[in-house]
Amino acid sequence: KNEVEQSPQNLTAQEGEFITINCSYSVGISALHWLQQHPGGGIVSLFMLSSGKKKHGRLIATINIQEKHSSLHITASHPRDSAVYICAVSGYSGGGADGLTFGKGTHLIIQP
């Protein structure tokens, strides 16, 4: 079973700061997902990536398959970025639910 560790567990920053959230996993994967969950809200998929880097607006996700590590960066952070960010990994069994293991999430607060 893959072990997914996220750091930090909690992060408070000022508006405008550059944010980095890290995710490491123990076993080789087919893909890694970054998810966002606002307080009391649903879960939204931000990225799915298996190599390299992806960018969407102010969000950047990178993955290093050899080091079994991924980072989620937020540039020019804003209070609306306050949420829980969850890392999840897919195994080699097709990438579906049977291979999806979640980290416990990083609780991010951006203060004005």
Partner 1 sequence: NAGVTQNPKFQVLKTGQSMTLQCAQDMNHNSMYWYRQDPGMGLRLIYYSASEGTTDKGEVPNGYNVSRLNKREFSLRLESAAPSQTSVYFCASSFFRLAGANTGELFFGEGSRLTVL
Residues 106/4, Cβ–Cβ less than 8 Å: no
Separation of alpha carbons 108 and 44, rounded Å: 15
Residue of 50, 64, 75, 111 interacting with partner 1 (CB under 8 A)? 50
Smaller CB distance to partner 1: residue 9 or 111? 9
Q: Which of residues 89-108 bind partner 1 (CB under 8 A)?
A: 90, 94-98, 100, 102-105
Separation of alpha carbons 56 and 40, rounded Å: 24
Separation of alpha carbons 2 and 111, rounded Å: 34
Residue labelled with tokens 């960018």? 55
The answer to the question of residue 57 lying near partner 1 (CB under 8 A) is no
The answer to the question of residue 42 lying near partner 1 (CB under 8 A) is yes
Judged by the rule CB under 8 A, the positions of this chain that interact with partner 1 are 30-31, 33, 35, 41-45, 48-50, 86, 88, 90, 94-98, 100, 102-105
